[in-house]
Chain A
Amino acid sequence: MTEFYGYRRADGRPGIRNYVLILPTSVCASDVANIIASQVDGAVSFHNQVGCSQVTSDLEMSFDFEVGFAANPNVYAVVLVSLGCEGCQCDEVADRIAKRTSKPVAKVIIQEARGTLRAVELGVRYAKQFAAEASMMQKEKFPITELLMATECGGSDPTSGLAANNVIGALSDRLVDEGAATILSETPEFIGGEHLLAERAVTPEVHDKVLNIVHRYEESVRNACGEDIRSGNPTPGNKAGGITTLEEKSLGCIHKGGSRPITEVYDYAKEIPAEQRGLVIMDTPGNDPSSMTGMAAGGAQVCVFSTGRGTALGNPIMPVIKITGNADTFDKMEDNIDFDASRYIKGTHTIEELRDELYNVLVETCCGKQTKSEALGINEIAVMRTCNYV
């Protein structure tokens, strides 16, 4: 049994990082949160584009992602930063966090702290105390079964379906076989291939959920803007690249979910319990940063992300290992991409060889090795929503 060194948590899975998360509960608190994080070694933050002026269903997704980020195993403690009057009220976020985890949480409310300067001071004092506590933790060995791995693909080109997603799918299968859990995401990229995923469901209920999230996603786009999500898909660029039909495109995308049974379907940013094993689906957008946000909120400790064109993306709390099947892209963007899967296309390596190599990179990353996006401090996120701001 493979093991990795991680951080034991009071509840849930072990962490592979030990962050103090400075969590802005709305747009209006984001700059203050980022200033606080910049002052404290070991603290991390991001820009939150939601959390206020949202319809109820969208605001609920914002609560879910914020609470999920706080509960993510890679986070040791949380400093909530809010303006004071936003939809995602600081106390409400804290109460919801407490229902999921007993980890330390402090609150900074800018309006109550009497402005940003005093809010920054208060937040820095909380954060440095948490960072000092976090620094005292010793890593422990955990079995690979404690891992929840997210998968993602973006900036796709034909090599994604030829090599990169195949390697990720093989890695997902290996992890599932070893007793870990993996997530397939990006609902709009199931379209045309959803029946194949549904056939792999372990129960009729999960089968219907797979088909339902695709239908629901299409309907939400049609209701929001009256457009057919299938129109123009595959795109002219996809076709020029060699993708003939929507089925072919979706098959390439869902390849990163491997071949194992689909055990459950989770809504966006909902908790994936620590007991969950096997392959699951999360209903997320095809948009990469918002999809990864949902999976990190679900509790994924690490993400493996395939790209054809090349991407710089990472995530503030979930290390992202990026892989490409495009030799030219790896050559041009090696600063951003961790793993070269084009060796399968060149014929020098098999999928199984690359799978095992990527598995080793995954374990090293879990043990603390920085990914390229971590080293460069790429922390952008986005959050799913169905409606304009109100």
Chain B
Amino acid sequence: MINGMFIDPKDCVVTLAAAATPGDKVCYVDEGVRKEVEVLDAIPIYHKMAVKPVAKGGRVIKYGELIGIASQDIIPGQHVHTHNVEEPERG
């Protein structure tokens, strides 16, 4: 069951097609390859979960583009939202 939506190969997050709780498995497809990550947080439907680590200050990528800056270290399986991502500086 594919329950994680992975949009672009550069992305570090998937969007969940169903709510998840710690211990659940999120499956997604990355360029034809099925991948699986264990969920670490309670995550509502359509929210984001990390599938790649992002260090504090690193770029959070969705849609293949920058959507924010990690305000703390993020590891795969964690909920990615306003508590650990901030707006990027405008150029």
Residues of A within 8 A of B (CB): 157-159, 161-163, 166, 193, 195-196, 239, 241-242, 244-248, 251-252, 255, 344-347
Contacts and interface: CB of A to CB of B under 8 A. Distances in A.
A237 to B, nearest CB: 12
Interface of B: 1-3, 5, 7, 15, 17, 44-48, 62-63, 65-68, 80-82, 85-88, 91
Contact of A244 (B17, B44, B68): B68
A252 B88 CA distance: 17
Given A248-B62, A251-B62, A346 B81 contact: no
Contact of B1 (A159, A246, A347): A347
Given A242-B81, A244-B85, A158 B15 contact: yes
A245 B63 contact: no
B78 to A, nearest CB: 13
B15 A251 contact: no
Contact of A246 (B15, B62, B87): B87
List of 4 A-B pairs having minimum Cβ-Cβ separation, nearest first: A158-B46, A347-B2, A242-B47, A248-B67
Contacts of B48: 242, 244
Contacts of B85: 244-245
Given A242-B45, A244-B85, A245-B67, 20 more contacts: A157-B46, A158-B15, A161-B63, A166-B7, A193-B65, A239-B81, A242-B44, A242-B81, A244-B80, A244-B81, A244-B82, A245-B85, A247-B67, A248-B62, A248-B67, A251-B62, A251-B63, A345-B5, A347-B1, A347-B17
A158 B62 CA distance: 13
Contact of A159 (B46, B81, B86): B46
A244 B66 CA distance: 12
A245 B2 CA distance: 26
A239 B48 CA distance: 11
6 contacts: A163-B5, A195-B91, A244-B82, A245-B68, A245-B85, A245-B86
Contacts of B88: 245, 247
Contact of A255 (B15, B47, B63): B63
A162 B67 contact: no
A251 B68 CA distance: 12
A163 B5 CA distance: 9
B87 A162 contact: no
B65 A196 contact: yes
A241 B84 CA distance: 16
Contacts of A166: 7
A376 B15 CA distance: 35
Nearest to B66: A247
Nearest to B18: A345
A241 B16 CA distance: 11
B17 A346 contact: yes
Contacts of B5: 162-163, 344-345
A252 B46 contact: no
A239 B68 contact: no
Contacts of B46: 157-159, 162, 241-242
Contacts of B15: 158, 162, 242
A239 B87 contact: no
Contacts of B2: 347
A162 B3 CA distance: 13
Contacts of B68: 244-245, 247-248
A241 B82 CA distance: 12
Nearest to B43: A242
B63 to A, nearest CB: 5
A195 to B, nearest CB: 7
A296 to B, nearest CB: 29
Contacts of B87: 245-247
Nearest to B67: A248
Nearest to A255: B63
A218 to B, nearest CB: 12
Q: Name the residue in B2, B7, B44, B82 with the highest tally of chain A Cβ atoms < 10 Å from its Cβ.
A: B7
Contact of B67 (A158, A251, A255): A251
Given A158-B46, A242-B48, A244-B81, A251 B17 contact: no
Q: Name the residue in B3, B48, B63 with the highest tally of chain A Cβ atoms < 10 Å from its Cβ.
A: B63
